[in-house]
Chain A
Amino acid sequence: MKISDLEKELGYAPLWEGYEDRDILDGYTSDLLSDVMGNAPDDSVLITIQAHKNTVAVATLAGINAIVLANNRPAPEEMIEAAQEEGIAVFRADENQFTASWKIHNILTK
């Protein structure tokens, strides 16, 4: 799947426009940054409720291409700025992590 499928297929709201539409090969759901850092696959989408700048740092380091903030978690301005700087797409979903993960998994295996 492409990053833009999160918008097109699932209707998640991008928190900044103009991201590079890279491939997403896998997904990872976690709120523990060390867990994400250690175990998230490359080129994945991270489904989390950790809406802050450090999540962007971890995504950059772990090779995560997009972040989905579940449960409509509001993202602070500095998080969006950091994401833009690092080229990490960020979306907001009004579903919980279980549902978002399930839907994304369906697109990944289509």
Chain B
Amino acid sequence: MNALHLINDDTPSFILEMIFQLKVKDVMTRDIMTADRQASLKTIQHMMKAKAVTGIPIEENKRLFGIVSLEDIIRALEGGYIEDTAEKRMTRNLIVLEEDMPLSFAINYMDKYRYGRFPVLNISKELVGIITSRDIINKLLLRINEEMTQLENRLVKEPDHTMDSYHKTYICHRFDFENAGRASTEIKKYLKGLNLDRKLIRRVAVASYELEINLVVHSQGGTLHFEAENDRIRLTAADQGPGIGDVDQVMKEGYSTANDWIRSLGFGAGMGLPNVKRVSDEFAIKSKPGVGTTVISEIVIKKGETDENK
């Protein structure tokens, strides 16, 4: 039940490095509740309930004598000896970890002994904490989060500036309304810097915003790729699903699959893709259910659409 199955031949090296580098003391809970040997099981039962924990170490002056687990309490209730002292009924044959051990030890112990928690001792054999599978999962998730954030930041290509071309990829996450519109705002600022005609910039903004919102509202996440090259601007929205069953239907104005809370934010009017098509000189949509959708919008910069001529 508590086995983590984290370490095997297929484990990515990043995960392995992480669990070898992290020490038990980096992950364990330090602020723990303990009881002394004379405490009754009933008292311990109340402590567990109050703090929502499933094991209380029996400790005096930092010396660990045993542990009373939820299973011990259940057995005491069944056996009718809930008033007994901890000393009489606690689990004594404890498997403990040392705080300087790598986290991989703790994971192996969880897999091997099927205990939900291990007391942690320091080098002087004093009790300094407890480590549970929950602690491990929390810490690993946090670390993976940090690492993924860095990875993603590296994935977003730096703008590539050459004489006549510019491109940039933006990552859009499902339901990330917080950042929705950011890519379009940046694209608009870039085009403003080129002194393009205001109407043309507006057309690009409509297309990029709708494509961005579509990724946020409807996809599992995807990318918006922006290219400006010589006389044209190309926007490519590509996602990893869920895909569209009937492409003709989603191109009809007023058709939307957005749910009520998305509509309450002012989205889901069924105007997104029709809007994109209307402002585009070239428009293409390809979709496969279960695979994903790609939408390409091209806008041609015609002569006279730069502000110099105004």
Contacts and interface: CB of A to CB of B under 8 A. Distances in A.
Interface of A: 31-35, 37-38, 42, 48, 50, 52-55, 57-58, 60-63, 86
Interface string B251-267: 00000000000000111
Nearest to A31: B266
Interface string B200-232: 001001100110010000000000000000000
B297 interface: no
Given A31-B266, A34-B272, A62 B180 contact: no
B153 interface: no
Interface in B163-189: 177-178, 180-182, 184-185, 188
Given A57-B180, A57-B181, A58-B209, A42 B198 contact: yes
Closest 8 CB pairs of A and B: A57-B181, A34-B271, A61-B205, A32-B269, A33-B266, A50-B266, A38-B275, A34-B269
B275 to A, nearest CB: 5
Contacts of A58: 181, 209
Nearest to A85: B185
B278 interface: yes
B226 to A, nearest CB: 14
Interface in B78-117: none
B265 A52 contact: yes
Given A31-B266, A54-B180, A61 B209 contact: yes
B188 A37 contact: no
Given A32-B271, A61-B205, 11 more contacts: A32-B269, A33-B213, A34-B213, A37-B206, A38-B271, A42-B198, A54-B266, A60-B181, A60-B185, A61-B184, A62-B206
Chain A interface mostly: helix
Contacts of A86: 185
A49 B237 CA distance: 30
Contacts of B182: 57
Contacts of A52: 177, 265
Nearest to A38: B275
A36 B269 CA distance: 11
B206 A38 contact: yes
B167 to A, nearest CB: 20
A42 to B, nearest CB: 6
Most buried by B among A37, A42, A48, A86: A37
A55 B213 CA distance: 12
